[in-house]
Structure 1
Amino acid sequence: MSLSPLPADTAPISPLRHAWRRALLPLTCLGLLLLSLWWADALTHDVKRWPGQRLDVAESLVSTSERPPAQASGWQPTRLPDNWKETRPDGPPAVWYRVPFSAAAVDDPAVLIPRLATSGQVWLNGSRLWDGRSTRPQDTFSWNAPLLLVLPSGLLRAEGNLLEIQVQGLPRYRAGLSHVQLAPQHALVPIYTWRNLWQKDGALISSVVSLVGGLLMLLLWVRTRRDPMYLWFALATLAWAARNSNLYLNELPVPIDAWATLVRGGHAWFAAFFGLFVLRFTGTSWRGFKVALVVYALANSLPSAGFVEPMLRWLALPGFALYFPLLWLLLRKGWRDGSTESALMAATALTFLALSARDGLLLGSRLPYEAYYLSHYSGVLLLVSAAWGLVARLVNAQQGLSRLNAELEQRVADRTAALQAANAAKTRFLAAASHDLRQPVVAIGLLIGLVREQVQALDVRRLIDRAHDAVMAMEKLLQGLLDLSRLDSGVVKPRFEGVGLQGVFDAIAATEAATAQAKGLRLRVHPTTLSVRADPLLLDQLLRNLVANALRYTDRGGVLIAARRQAGQVCVQVWDTGRGIARERQAEVFEEFVQLDNPGRDRSLGLGLGLAIVARCAHLLGSRIELRSEPGRGSCFGLLLPAAPALPAAAVRPGAVRPLVRQRVLLVDDDETVRVALSSRLEAWGAEVTALDGLPAVQQWLADRPFLPDLLLTDHRLPVGNGLQVIDAVRAACGPIPVLMVTGNTAPEDIATFSASGIPVLHKPFPAEQLLAAIGRIAGLGVFELSELS
């Protein structure tokens, strides 16, 4: 499928600049036309400025002899130049000329013959100087080139020198002889070089330029098939290169009549292809005009041996009739677009028309005989301007694509920034909202836990259990939001070390065994001795979420936790025989709050945060989750991690029912409900608790300091000061005692502050066993079995 032509300039321009470009069109056309006409006139009449003596008096004799005729009779006085199309249009194709001259006053004499068409020979005083007949192809001179001959001093006479020149050719191809210029050799060499450049070598250069440009454009079209406009331009350029070959070939490869037909056909096909190009370039659809162009080219391709002149006359007028509409289309486009490329193309097209008309006058013998054709130069200029226009289009199209890409990248960057800002705002909102929720939730959870331990009545215990379940659900939601906020904040820095997978698998299986048993599922761990290099906390959180998710969405069968080597790494996998996930929806499950099979938002089916946390943990571990799933048959979540040397599993030391006996705890929290709940919980574990409401109370207590505390538990957000200031004050007075920050702050900047300080942090809300485990770690009291805390 071809594309519509692109405008020459895709970028908007100002009205003033557009007006200037419009004014440039007539100025360019007029200027280039006048310049080309002046140049053509200068080259047409350049012989008038040649130095030396013009030899134009001669005698001629019709003869086909190999040597100059010796007879004195039959020679006719002739004035040079002698154009056979005018003097002997029906005459024989061979004439001898005798040109007398005197070289007595000329040093190092030479002669320059502007035109000797189409072949022949030159003699000086009975000796041959040059043979350009077709019997000597290697010496044959093109009829379109000038001839410079140095006159040997050994052949010259003091007086009565005679040049004898034979000319062979057909009258209909402008055969004949120009005048002969006699001058010193050093004066004629520059003139000969200059004239040979314009008359012959320039044609070769223009053909090579056309050939290379046409092949490149044809290759571009073949590679892209973007627009037939480029094909028409390539074919026009190649036709023009072939058409101009007769201007520089020394000897034609076929008979001259057949060659004339090829040249005329090449010119016509160039015009046809160029016309198709102009129609496409200007966006014009003239079907009848396209047919006329093809018919014109076919008519000019018919053989015309012996009828060259009539054919040219008959086809010249239709050619001009077809060319004028193309010129008008280019001028109209240049005016409308106001583009430099269109103006230059219109100007060169007008110049080509003018020089083609000039060459037509030369072919009809309306110009001096020694003049030569020039339209091939304007044709190359026309093709160059067209190539410039096409290149400009490609460049403008590329610039347009670059601008679109830049705009797209900017829009993507803006959208990314907006999404990042929205995500940061969401994180700040969740952090602020969860802080206010965590305070009462943690207090309720601790108090309900105490009540459960003390109430024995079954009916009251059932109500307390339901309240406990509701608090646990709220704690899970807030914990999930906290995990997302913490992972999104960028302050979580993984601490990579060797992690034995069997211990991690066993701990997860022990935690989730009750859930699996309640649903009638098998939770299996494939024994392994493999270890991986990972952050143990992130890996544990990731696998726990995967296993919990698998158990939640599996109704029969079971869940398998396994690991295997894979190309120097370890692939950790969680398999299930659950409901499965359709391929087109697998990417959605890693987004926040997405639950494909829970439109009613049943809390028992989770909150839709587990897999979002899993994806973030995998990213921090330098990996990603691979998911394979088939609806109705189950899923497999996999994680590739670097392998590590095998490690022994860590032992778990049981604790006691009252593990904090004789531990003196300094508790600081501004919320009275939380303060009372924490105090009650700690005291139930055997601790001696001193509860204070803020930094001023702490400073006052430190002034008296009735005892040295074993542990400091403090909130971060306080009415006066903050938890870090409390810690600094207590440690300044009591030394480096163990400290635990208990806070509901989850803003990214607060998490970053906590991480930089190195203070252990426990985020509200939390279950009682998590609080006890955190105290055990920082106070060096060991790890407690959760079963002993119920």
Structure 2
Amino acid sequence: MSARAAQGALSPDAALPRLPAWHRRLIALLGWIGAATFLTLLVWSAHPWFISQSSHPDVSFAQQRFRLMPTAVNPGSEWLDVTLPDTWAERGQPGGGVGRYEITFNLARAPSALGEGPWAVRIDRLSFQHRLWLNGQLIHAATVGAAGPTGRPLAYMVQVPRELLREGPNQLAVEVHHGSMGGMSVPIIGLAADVMPGFTVQSFLTEGLPLAVNVVSAAFAVFLTLIWLRRRQEVGMGMLGLLAMVVSVRNSAYYVVNGPTIPPELSAWIYFSAQTTATVLLGAFAMAIADKNWPWFRKVLWGTLIGAPLLGAIAVSHGVLPQVRAVVYPAMLLLMLPTLTLLLRVPAKFGGWSGRGMVLGIAISLVAGVHDYMRLQGMVSVMHTYWMSLATPITLASYGVALMNRFIEAVGEVEQHNVQLERKVAERTEDLAAANAAKGHFLAAASHDLRQPVAAVGLLSGLLRERLKDSPLKDMTDRLADAVRAMENLLSGLLDLSRLEAKAIRPHWQGVALGDLLRRIATHEDPAARAKGLRLRLRPTQAVAESDPVLLEQMVRNLVGNAVRYTQRGGVLVGVRRRGQNLSIQVWDTGGGIAPEDQQRIFQDFVQLANPERNQAKGLGLGLSIVQRASRLLDHPIGLRSRVGHGSCFSIEVPARLGAQAVAQAAATPEPAPPAGSEHPLQDRHIVVVDDDASVRQALTERLRAWGAYVSAVDSLDALDELLQRVMSIDMLITDHRLCDGDGLQAIGLARGAHPQLAALVITGDTASEQLQSLMNSSIPVLHKPFQAEALLRVIELQLSVHPDNLGGTASTAANA
């Protein structure tokens, strides 16, 4: 090699040979396993620092011996001297069976001289099936029955009667029943107040904390599983949820001692099946999250899922489950190798701390799995607890958090894509967006702020028309009144929609004579039909329906009006047919028909198929919307049959009122009252007007004065309060609902505080459902802006007639204020 080549090879900038990918993954895994082992051992070595392991200073231990008691399946053993903590498997004895420990300890002084309070014995690793004797006296027994030895080591503290202790030698005898992992820790004897803190920490770290972690993990698992059930494409999330659920329930069951009594054979089989099922679910989760489908691995997983529980059941029936478990569990570790291969590919997809957390979780679980297998085989001290009960929830949680982050990011991306898609659609359908925007703007404008000036214009135009009826300007004022009437009709339609949508209308159920109802509608619509050369035919009927007469007539009137409006030749037929216990009100026309794809759309607000130019002479597109909402309120289904080019049939199905009640209780829709004959129907009546809109207040004042009333107009509750202190008599209060310092109901309450029987009327432009509901519940008469002068006069006269006690002279000092 030349000097230049050697120098290049030794240069720090020279490229190093790149290891194969599997070499790098293996080295990385070994590194993470080393880090996980170091962290685990560090925590385990620091564990005793938090828990006192010392007995009372005056307590010293002498002899400690053990004997395996004879049972039906074990001949027992002789007494052996042991050193606590003691692990049976380390001495070559089976991990299961019944054993007895005898521990001799000395008290340096009499118990009375050793402080106040009770004494206690704390044993950090004691089977939950045990009995304790002190100096021959039984002091504690726990779940020792005929079910056989199934105990597992847990932490216990037992109080000791002080009178059983004596100065000098004492003997503590402990009988333990173990299903496996037999052994016992050193007993800690002392005052209960000194022993309790260590027991609390020990039981928390070895039982309470793992149980709490697994309960939380189970809840998280349910959450993941529910997401998967709603979104089946999230297979990885579903497999992780099922895996976490199985593992968490299995781990939690380990710490539940006083649960339902299960035969030990069945309990062992359930634990065995849960372990193998968790391994299978982990493999399925690994394939799902790595986006890999290995057919051979899938077959192995299915075989294990079905075969392992069957093998366990056979082993239980022959009493050889421990031997089978000792073979199957290492096989499960081998099955983990392809799972591990898949999981090691996942962190690269997530990157950052999520990826590092996943790899660390895998390493911790591997270390914990090896440790727990060694513990099960008695290769480690009985003082060791299960590590998997803490390791698996933490590991699964790291994956769960990563999956949830990815899910949230995916949802965010979907939302972003939706925004982009909506933007593109908006750009490509600019005309439709403009129409929708115009509709939205119009609806927004048809609120309180629009109704206020329209109400003022309506009142003033009516006054102007009356005062110029003999003037050359009469035609112009008539056109102005017609324009105002059209605007009022539009806002009234919007108000009907709002009231129906807010359910602010309460149906008044009664018998409705359909013959009278249809005749009134036909009389109203016949001139329009004749003007178009159409024939409006009505089939006579004596049927009586059970409905609200006003709402039902509004529904039928809208259907007939639409039929006349959109039929160019032929005619319209209106009739009633019986349908069992119901009646079908049908409106047939010979119009152009409605295409199937448009038959739902026509019930939407402002939709008019045959009026693209928005000619108000053809309506506003609100009639069918009102019909549909009224049908929902009354529970009267709407039917539609139509053929393009032939015509349509709309129907309303209503319940029939049968028998004698139909004759006696049939009601007709009340006709509007005729206008008052007098030019001054409110002569000498004192009416107070409260409205914070100056134009409406002035127009309403002028209208009422034209009818002969004295008017006191104020703009707020404060001004009304001041007025009430000056006047002696008031006939009626008319108030806007939305005031600058309150609302109309407050104004009525204030006025009726001084005049209890005062007639009152609320006028409002509000269409919000909350406001409509509040007014309906108040039982106060309400007139919605904009309104016609005739309607205002009818309501005023009606209220004055039902409050006769309040009629009287006016206070001249306040009149026309």
Structure 1 length-normalised TM: 0.52
**In structure 2, do the counterparts of structure 1 residues 396 and 573 end up closer, same or farther at CA, with 3 Å as the change threshold?**
same
Letter in 2 for 1:85: A
Q: Given the superposition, is the C-alpha separation of residues 418 and 192 from structure 1 closer, same or farther in structure 2, using an over 3 Å criterion?
A: same
**Is 1:381–2:394 an aligned residue pair?**
yes
The residue type equivalent to 2:289 in the other structure is F
C-alpha distance in 1, partners of 2:32/2:92?
44
CA 1:350/1:646 → structure 2, altered by over 3 Å: closer, same or farther?
Answer: same
Q: Is the contact between residue 55 and residue 180 of structure 1 (CA under 8 Å) also seen in structure 2?
A: no
The residue number in structure 2 matching 1:291 is: 299
Equivalent residue for 1:327, pick from 340, 361, 367: 340
Query: Which structure has the higher relative contact order (CA within 8 Å, separation 6+)?
Result: 1
Give 2:287's match in structure 1, choosing from 259, 274, 279.
279
Q: 1:115 aligns with which of 102, 125, 135?
A: 125
Q: Which amino acid aligns with 1:89?
A: Q
1:347 and 2:388 aligned: no
Q: Equivalent residue for 2:196?
A: 189
Q: Distance in 2 between matches of 1:127 and 1:574?
A: 100
Q: 1:639-678: per-residue Cα shift (whole Å, max 9, x none)? A: 9xxx995899xxxxxxxxxxxxxxxxxxxxxxxxxxxxxx
CA distance in 2: counterparts of 1:345 and 1:39, whole angstroms: 20
Superposed displacement of residue 413, structure 1: 4.5
Find the residue that maps to 2:153 and give its secondary structure. Answer: coil
Q: CA deviation at 1:143?
A: 3.3
Report deviation, 1:190.
Answer: 1.4
Q: How does 1:410-559 map to 2 (within 5 A)?
A: 410-415=423-428, 417-419=430-432, 493=487, 505-506=526-527, 509=530, 523-526=534-537, 546=566, 550-551=568-569, 559=570
Q: For 2:291 and 2:406, how far apart are their aligned partners in 1? A: 14
User: SS in structure 2 opposite 1:267?
Assistant: helix
CA offset at residue 285 of structure 1? Answer: 0.5
Deviations 1:265-324 (A, max 9, x none): 211211111221221122110121122234445337522666566444433433223224
The CA distance in 2 between the partners of 1:413 and 1:490, in whole Å, is: 35
Distance 1:296 1:636, change over 3 A: closer
Within 5 Å, which residues of 2 pair with 1:161-176? Answer: 161-169=170-178, 173-176=180-183
Structure-2 change in CA distance of 1:290 and 1:491 (3 Å): farther
Q: What is aligned with 2:165?
A: 156
The within-5 A match list for 1:724-735 is: none
| Larger Rg, first or second structure (1 or 2) | 1
**Which whole-Å CA distance do the structure 1 matches of 2:300 and 2:138 have between them?**
53
State how far apart, in whole Å, the 2-side matches of 1:102 and 1:394 are: 64
1:70 counterpart residue number: none
Match of 2:142 in 1: 132
Amino acid at match of 2:172: L
1:585-611 CA distance string (max 9 Å, x none): 889999xxxxxxxxxxxxxxxxx9975
State the alpha-carbon separation in 2 of the partners of residues 283 and 620 from structure 1: 56
- Structure 1, unmatched stretches of 5+, are 1-23, 66-72, 426-488, 514-522, 552-558, 591-607, 649-790
Q: 1:84 aligns with which of 88, 97, 100?
A: 88
Find the aligned partners of 1:615 and 1:528 in 2 and give their Cα distance: 32
Distance 1:423 1:252 in 2: 64
SS of structure 1 residue aligned to 2:82 = strand
Q: Quote how far apart the aligned CAs of 1:226 are.
A: 4.8
Per-residue deviation, 1:617: 4.2
Q: Assess, with a 3 A threshold, how the Cα gap between structure 1 residues 339 and 275 changes in structure 2: closer, same or farther.
A: farther
Aligned residues of 2:96 and 2:182 also touching (Cα < 8 A): no
- Per-residue deviation at 1:501? 7.4
Superposed counterparts of 1:569-648, under 5 Å: 575-576=589-590, 583=596, 611-613=611-613, 617-620=617-620, 622-623=622-623, 629-630=642-643, 633-634=646-647, 645=671
Letter in 2 for 1:524: R
* Residue type at the aligned position of 2:87: N
Corresponding residue for 1:368? 381
2:65 to 54, 59, 66: 59
Give the conservation status (yes or no) of the 8 Å contact 1:579–1:633. Answer: yes
AA aligned to 1:97 is: Y
- 2-structure distance, mates of 1:90, 1:29: 31
Q: Distance in 2 between matches of 1:579 and 1:321?
A: 76
- 1:247 is displaced (CA, Å) by 3.7
Alignment RMSD (CA, Å)? 5.6
Q: Is the 8 A contact 2:104 2:171 kept in 1?
A: yes
For 2:95 and 2:488, locate their aligned partners in 1 and report how far apart those are by CA, in whole Å: 104
| Aligned-residue offset at 1:154 | 1.3
CA contact (8 A) 1:233 1:273 kept: yes
Against the structure 1 CA distance between its residues 76 and 624, is the aligned structure 2 distance closer, same or farther, given a 3 Å change threshold?
closer
TM-aligned CA deviation for residue 189 of structure 1: 0.9
* CA contact 1:233–1:277 (8 Å) conserved in 2: yes
Q: Distance in 1 between matches of 2:420 and 2:30?
A: 37
Relative to 1, partners in 2 of residues 1:417 and 1:344: Cα closer, same or farther, differing over 3 Å?
A: same
Amino acid at match of 1:623: G
Question: Following the alignment from structure 2 to structure 1, what is the Cα–Cα distance between the partners of residues 319 and 382?
Answer: 21
1:99 aligned residue (100, 103, 106):
103
8 Å contact from structure 2 (residues 539, 576) kept in 1: no
Q: How far does the alpha carbon of each residue in 1:446-500 deviate from its partner, in whole angstroms, 9 at most, with x for none?
A: xxxxxxxxxxxxxxxxxxxxxxxxxxxxxxxxxxxxxxxxxxx999846689999
Q: Quick check: 2:152–2:181 contact (8 Å CA) kept in 1?
A: no
Distance 1:77 1:644, change over 3 A: closer
Distance in 2 (alpha carbons) for counterparts of 1:622 and 1:644: 24
User: 1:169: Cα distance to partner?
Assistant: 3.9
Q: Deviations over 1:692-717 (max 9, x none)?
A: xxxxxxxxxxxxxxxxxxxxxxxxxx
Flag the 1:256–1:581 CA change in 2: closer, same or farther, 3 A: closer
Residue 240 of structure 1: CA displacement? 1.7
Tell me what 1:198 maps to. Answer: 205
Q: Percent same amino acid at aligned positions?
A: 22
Asked whether the equivalents of residues 95 and 182 of structure 2 are also in contact (C-alpha less than 8 Å), the reply is no
Aligned partner letter, 2:122: L
| Greater mean deviation of Cα atoms: 391-400 or 159-168 | 391-400
Sort the Cα spacing of 1:573 and 1:147 in 2 relative to 1 into closer, same or farther, 3 A.
closer
Which residue of structure 2 aligns with residue 661 of structure 1?
none
Post-superposition CA distance 1:410-440 (Å, at most 9, x none):
4455456554669999xxxxxxxxxxxxxxx
Which residues of structure 2 form unaligned runs of 5+?
1-27, 72-76, 439-482, 494-519, 541-549, 578-584, 628-639, 653-668, 675-817
In the comparison of the two structures, how many residue pairs are matched?
509
CA distance in 2 between counterparts of 1:163 and 1:635 reads: 98
**Alpha-carbon displacement from aligned partner over 1:4-47 (angstroms, at most 9, x marks no partner):** xxxxxxxxxxxxxxxxxxxx999999877654443244348977
Write the letter of the residue equivalent to 1:130: H
Q: Is the 8 A contact 2:125 2:184 kept in 1?
A: yes
Measure, in 2, the Cα distance between the counterparts of 1:211 and 1:409: 40
> Is the 1:56–1:81 Cα contact (8 Å) retained in structure 2?
no
Structure 1 residue 51 displacement after superposition: 6.0
C-alpha contact (below 8 Å) 1:232/1:273 kept by paired residues = yes
The Cα of 1:363 is off from its aligned counterpart by 2.6
Say yes or no: does 1:314 pair with 2:327.
yes
CA distance in 2, matches of 1:573, 1:257: 77
Q: Is the 8 A contact 2:52 2:198 kept in 1?
A: no
Change (3 A) 1:125 1:335: same
Q: What's 1:467 paired with?
A: none
- C-alpha contact (below 8 Å) 1:502/1:527 kept by paired residues: no
CA contact (8 A) 1:200 1:247 kept: yes
Which amino acid in 2 is paired with 1:376?
S
Amino acid at match of 1:365: G
1:270 to 268, 273, 278: 278
Letter in 2 for 1:134: V
What amino acid maps onto 1:188 in structure 2? V
